[in-house]
Amino acid sequence: MRVLLVGAGGVGTAITRIAARRPFFDHMVVADYDLARAEAAVAALGDGGTRFSACRTDASDEGAVAALLKEQRCDVLLNATDPRFVLPLFNAAAAAGAHYLDMAMSLSSPHPDRPYELCGVKLGDAQFEQAELWEKAGRLALVGMGVEPGMSDVFARYAADELFDEIEEIGIRDGANLTVEGYDFAPSFNIWTTIEECLNPPVVYEADRGWFTTEPFSEPEIFDFPEGIGPVECVNVEHEEVLLVPRWIDAARVTFKYGLGEDFIGKLKTLSALGLDSTVPVTVTTGLGPAEVSPRDVVAAVLPDPATLGDRMTGKTCAGTWVKGVKDGEPREVYLYHVVDNEWSMREYGCQAVVWQTAVNPVVALELMASGTWARSGVLGPEAFAPRPFLDLLTAYGSPWAMREQLPAQAESRR
């Protein structure tokens, strides 16, 4: 397998460090708009980087990326950019006859008249519209294959296959106790994506109603996270799992709630109130004359790069899927989860916990694709595949998952 990795930021760099330890691929081309960043990601691998090379590409240029895929004879494009570039990279892979894998799906847009009641364009709609073309071409576009979405969706499939006869609710619950020394506001993940998912209308799915939207940060609840993280208030946030899970799994209700905290929510609301969440360019006077700049890009530019925060960060991050339903006629409630300690990820890989946890999942999926274990065509989410091979391989990577029975006791069991 030859892989074109587009994006050499925090997650892209973590992907190279994880993949370098695995033998399943022949070569990985690391491409970024900033050539120096791609070269740095490869150089950091040292003697382990013989199967890697770096080059420059513009992720927004479909033609250039398609040509690069053909020139480098790559079998698959792994998208590690932010969601703005999903469609051009998705289309470039299709044009080049390559498989495709991403960690976030094509962007949504709110309903023009009733944004907090009805869906407008949903996450991934633009990709699923092309599903038949991918299927006829015999190529796989595996969408939403990060940690959330991604691992969380695999957990949902595993629960449906092995743990429940009937599912009342699947709820993705994400929480952490991470702190960053020296910063009042230092998001641990790409701020462009964070603003997008947190300030857009959250989507909820109910079997008798379909997909609908609510107010941002609605339905707060306290969720008790495992391994010492403890109780965290979680709120509704727009996320791909709610759009993916119901396509393959029968559940009466699907939600996504994120543990953000009052301070973080307050800062996001302030950014929105000031118009700094906007992606529409505004004219700014500079010493070199007028310049067109997106307010959201300015926010991203003044905040620290999440990939550089690892040395100042302490704590753990938890991604997981809470499932409530019935098994053998009895009520059951479980939380399937994956915890990464920042101290461990920094020591083992030199990557902070959130970006490492995101990066490990597409590498596991690539290995399953390379072996033919996950082999289908079309535009598919992680739920469309057998979950056990993924969960077993994740454990083999040295990062085991776990399950907690919520009823009748809060017992934890390692898998």
The reported pLDDT for the residue numbered 71 is 98
* Whether pLDDT at 413 is above 50: no
b/e per residue, 3-18, with b = 16+ CB within 10 A? bbbbbbbbbbbbbbbb
- The mean-pLDDT minimum among 95-109, 291-305, 319-333, 340-354 falls in 291-305
Extract the tokens encoding 293: 């700049």
Extract the tokens encoding 88: 């051009």
The reported pLDDT for the residue numbered 89 is 98
CA–CA separation, 341 and 351 (whole Å)? 11
pLDDT class for 8, splitting at 50, 70, 90? very high
The reported pLDDT for the residue numbered 248 is 98
Place of tokens 């208030």: 233
pLDDT class for 157, splitting at 50, 70, 90? very high
Average pLDDT, the chain: 94
Q: Is 28 exposed, middle or buried (0-12, 13-18, 19+ CB in 10 A)?
A: buried
The reported pLDDT for the residue numbered 187 is 80
Beta bridge mates, 204: 212
Q: Who wins on pLDDT, 29 or 288?
A: 29
* Whether pLDDT at 410 is above 60: no
- The mean-pLDDT minimum among 70-79, 183-192, 340-349 falls in 183-192
Task: Give me the long-range contacts of 229-232 (CB less than 8 A, separation at least 24).
Answer: 229/175, 229/176, 229/177, 229/315, 229/316, 229/318, 229/339, 230/177, 232/175, 232/176, 232/177, 232/259, 232/261
* Global confidence as pTM: 0.93
pLDDT tens for each residue of 23-65? 999 999 999 999 999 999 999 999 999 999 999 999 999 999 9
* Whether pLDDT at 93 is above 90: yes
CA–CA separation, 294 and 286 (whole Å)? 14
- The DSSP secondary structure of 142-176, one letter per residue, reads E-S-BTTTBHHHHHHHHIIIII-SEEEEEEEEEEE
- The mean-pLDDT minimum among 72-76, 80-84, 166-170, 386-390 falls in 80-84
Q: How large is the average pLDDT for residues 208-236?
A: 96
Q: Is 80 helix (H, G, I), strand (E, B) or coil?
A: coil
The reported pLDDT for the residue numbered 407 is 62
CB 29 within 8 A of CB 5: yes
CA–CA separation, 342 and 318 (whole Å)? 11
Q: What's the start-to-end Cα distance of the chain, in Å? A: 30
The reported pLDDT for the residue numbered 158 is 98
* Whether pLDDT at 404 is above 60: yes
- The one-letter code for the residue type at 333 is E
